[in-house]
Each structure stands twice: as structure tokens, then as C-alpha cells.
Amino acid sequence: MGKLFVISAPSGTGKTSLIHATLEDKNAEKTKLGISCTTREKRAQEKNDESYFFVSKEEFDEKIKNNEFLEYAEVFGNFYGTPKEWVLNSLSNKENVILELDIQGALQVKEAFPETKTVFIIPPSYNDLSSRLEKRSQDTEEEIKKRLMEAKREIFIGQKFDQIIVNDDFEKALHDLKQFIFSGDTLSPERKGITDDSLNLLLD
Ligand code: 5GP
């Protein structure tokens, strides 16, 4: 069996870039990223069947009825679900699977498969998260406020994940993530100290 990893993070933490860079590593040959189904609108740079399988709400409901999802959740008003058969087939083919899920999905997968390794990526501070959300110019001021409030709730839950990684510096966070995924290594004492400090600040 391959290993199953679930990676979650508050919106704007840099999770997607970290995951994509991890998958470009030479050790990632047997590691794949799951493609989810979603009812949300396709963004300009996204391709169907590559970023997501974009489906209608009716198609999504049909898949729920047919028990096709390992988990599904509503995130910011859209539905997202992980195709069960693809994940289970990949794992039995000894491939490692990374799922990029929201926090509810991560908890559901961990409950169904306790051997899943859960990773939670945190920003170094709310100020940092706020400026990243502003820089990506994807959301209105109102939405940014909502995402920051949601981040607080997510971090409270995410602190219990198997591994917490702080994205204070992209290369350092990438190193931490690769070490955990490819070697099962936890953080160096220095990185652990920085991560704990950020987490305490965010939970304050
Ligand atoms: P976005 O719309 O920005 O691509 O994703 C919004 C959120 O939905 C992100 O936190 C992303 O990780 C999460 N997400 C993507 N696919 C799934 C899925 O299949 N299940 C769950 N629970 N969350 C997902």
C-alpha cells in the first residue's frame, strides 16, 4: 500500500505552491496529487481534469448518491469531493497520494483512514496572511476579512495535525514538507522552535 497524505492550510498560506514544488522533486516519482470534483466556477488559468473535475451541482449530488466520494465538503459556498476509487486504486498500486483538502475533509479522511498523515501549513502571522491574500487580488476586502476569520478557526483545529509547517520562507517550508513526505522526518529543532512560536502567536 502507498501512503496517504492530506495537506490543509488556511486560504492564502501558499499550500498549492508548496505541494506543486514537492511533486517536482526527484523523490516524487511514486507520489501523485489527487484531483477533486468541484461545483465552483473554473478560474481563468485552470484546466478541466487537471486542476479539478468541474461538475454541476446535479452531477455532484449524483456522485454523493452513488457513494463515489471518500469525503466531501462545502467550502466558501462551493462543493468539493475526493473521488474514492482513484485514491484507493492508487494506494493499492503502491503509489503515495497527496490530497489538498479543506480542514473538514482532512478530518473526515483521518477518521476513515487513521493511518493518513495530516499536514497543516500555517502562515507566520495574520499580518503576513492578510498581505498575501491582498497581493493575489482574488478576493474583495469583505472576502479577505471572512478568510482571516475562517483561518483562526482552522488553525485552532489544525494544531492537532500530525505535522505543522510554517511557511515563513518558501524554501525552508518546502524542505520541511519534502522531508516529512519523502523521509517521514519531523522538523529540525530550529524549525520546530520557529513553528511553535508562530503557532502560539496565531492561537493567541
Ligand atoms: P479552491 O477553490 O481555492 O481551489 O479551494 C478551496 C478549498 O477547498 C481549499 O482549501 C482546498 O484545499 C479545498 N478542497 C479542494 N478539493 C477538495 C476536496 O475534494 N475536498 C475538500 N474537503 N476540500 C477540498
DSSP 48: B
Mean pLDDT by 10 residues, the chain (204 residues): 97 95 97 96 86 95 97 93 96 97 96 96 96 87 92 96 98 98 95 97 94
80, β-bridge pairs: 38, 73
d(CA 111, CA 189): 29
**Residue-level pLDDT at 45:** 85
Taken in order of first residue, the domains within the chain and their CATH numbers are 4-34+96-203 (3.40.50.300)
**Nearest atom within ligand 1 for CA of residue 76:** 6
3-state SS, residue 103:
helix
pTM of the full structure: 0.95
CA of 134 to the centre of ligand 1 (A): 20
Q: Atom 24, ligand 1: which residue's CA is nearest? A: 101
CA of 190 to the centre of ligand 1 (A): 31
Q: Is the CB of 105 under 6 A from ligand 1?
A: yes
Q: Is the CB of 36 under 6 A from ligand 1?
A: yes
Q: Is the CB of 128 under 6 A from ligand 1?
A: no
The type of residue at 131 is: S
Q: Atom 6, ligand 1: which residue's CA is nearest? A: 75
Q: Is the CB of 154 under 6 A from ligand 1?
A: no
Closest alpha carbon to 163 in 139, 144, 180, 140:
180
CA of 27 to the centre of ligand 1 (A): 25
Using most ligand atoms within 8 A of CB, pick from 6, 102, 154 the residue to mutate for ligand 1.
102
3-state helix, strand, coil in the chain (%, to 5): 50, 20, 30
Q: Is the CB of 108 under 6 A from ligand 1?
A: no
Question: 177: Cβ–Cβ under 8 A, 6 or more apart, which residues?
Answer: 18, 19, 22, 119, 121, 165
Q: Is the dihedral of CA 15, 21, 27, 32 positive or negative?
A: positive
Q: Is the CB of 103 under 6 A from ligand 1?
A: no
Q: How many CB atoms lie within 10 A of CB 12?
A: 23
CB of 172 closer than 8 Å to CB of 190: no
- State the Cα torsion 69-74-80-85 to the nearest 10°: -10
